[in-house]
Amino acid sequence: MGVLEDKARARLFYKYLSKVYDTINPFIWNEEMRTEAIGMLDIERDDRVLDVGCGTGFATEGLLEVVDEVVGLDQSPHQLEKAYAKFGKHGDVRFHLGDAERLPFEDDAFDVVWSSGSIEYWPNPVETLREFRRVCKPGGQVLVVGPNYPKSSVFQKLADAIMLFYDEDEADRMFHDAGFEDVTHRLMGPSYDPDIAITTVARVPGDEDADVDATATSEVEADA
C-alpha cells in the first residue's frame, strides 16, 4: 500500500501540490498526450461527459474542445480553486466536490467517463472502475490515464512506496474485473520518455450495437 492510497494523505498532499501542479504537470502529461487520448473516444458535442479527479482542469480544458459541457468532480477544494480560475464557477464546467469511489451520480448518467491522473490515488481501483461503469451508459466509454509502471528499478521502488502504478496486463485485469469489454491500452509520453503514461479505454457492455463476447466479465454486477 503506497503512502498516498489513503484519502486523507492524498488530500493533504494535493493541498500543497496544487500550488505547483500545472507547472510540473507538463512533464508527465502534456497537450499532445491529451489530444491523443481524446482521439481514442467516440465523442459528440452534446454528449454528457464526466471528468473524475478533474483537479486544476488540464484535461477538462481539452475535453471542452470537443464537447459543449463537462461535469467535473474532485475531492480537493484546493485543486478546484485553480480550475475555477480558468473556467469560472458556473460556466461550461459544472463542478462538484466528491469521491471517485462513491460517485454522487445516477446509474447510466453519462456517455463518457474520463479520469486522468487520479487512479494512482484510488485505494480500490477495481471498485472505483465498477462505480464508473455504473454511472456510464451501456455502450458508453470510460477512459483512464495513469502512470505506466517504470522500467528502472530505482523508480520502481519509489513507485511502489508512493502510489499505484500498473502496466497493460494489470490494467487489462482491473478493467475486466470491473465488468468492462473492448479494453484497449496505449502508452504515451513526451519524446524523452515515450511510455510514461498508460491510457486505457473500455466500453460498458449492454449496447445492442456492441459485440457481446465478454460473457464472463459482463456477468459481474456492481456492488448492491
Partner 1 sequence: MKESLMDVLCCPMDKSELELEVDERADDEEVLAGTLVCSECGERYPIEDGIPNLLPPDMRDDVPA
Part of the chain binding partner 1 (CB under 8 A), chosen from 57-65, 92-100, 165-173, 207-215? 92-100
Question: Considering beta carbons, is residue 82 or 94 the nearer one to partner 1?
Answer: 94
Q: Minimum distance between the CB of residue 94 and partner 1, rounded to whole angstroms? A: 6
DSSP code for 150? P
82 binds partner 1 (CB under 8 A): no
What does the DSSP assignment read for 21-81?
Answer: HHHHGGGTS-HHHHHHHHTTS---TT--EEEET-TTSHHHHHHTTT-S-EEEEES-HHHHH
CB 130, CB 103: distance < 8 Å = no
Does residue 219 sit in helix, strand or coil?
coil
Residue with cell 500543497: 16
DSSP per position, 107-174: TT-EEEEEEES-GGG-S-HHHHHHHHHHHEEEEEEEEEEEEBPPSSHHHHHHHHHHS--B-HHHHHHH
Give yes or no for a contact between 112 and 68, defined as CB atoms under 8 angstroms apart. Answer: no
- Write down the least CB distance from residue 182 to partner 1, Å: 24
By CB under 8 A, name the one of 94, 139, 206, 218 that touches partner 1: 94
- What is the x/- site pattern for partner 1, positions 59-78, by CB under 8 A? ------------x-x-x-x-
Asked if residue 9 binds partner 1 (CB under 8 A), the reply is no
Minimum CB–partner distance for residue 15 and partner 1 (Å): 10
Residue 86 binding partner 1, by CB under 8 A = no
Buried-state track 95-127, b at ≥16 Cβ within 10 A, e below 16: beebebbebebeeebbbbbbbbbbbbbbbebbb
122 contributes a contact to partner 1 by CB under 8 A: no
**Nine cell digits for residue 152:** 528502472
d(Cα 210, Cα 92) in Å, to the nearest integer?
A: 31
8 touches partner 1 (CB under 8 A)? yes
Is residue 95 close enough to count as binding partner 1 by CB under 8 A?
A: yes
Nearest distance in Å: CB 149, partner 1? 28
- Span interacting with partner 1, options 29-37, 86-94, 163-171, 174-182, rule CB under 8 A: 86-94
Window 21-60: contact mask with partner 1 (x via CB under 8 A): ---------------------------x------------
C-alpha cell at 113: 467517463
For partner 1, the closer CB: 85 or 212: 85
Which residues are near partner 1 by CB under 8 A? 7-8, 11, 48, 71, 73, 75, 77, 80, 89-90, 94-99, 102-107, 109-110
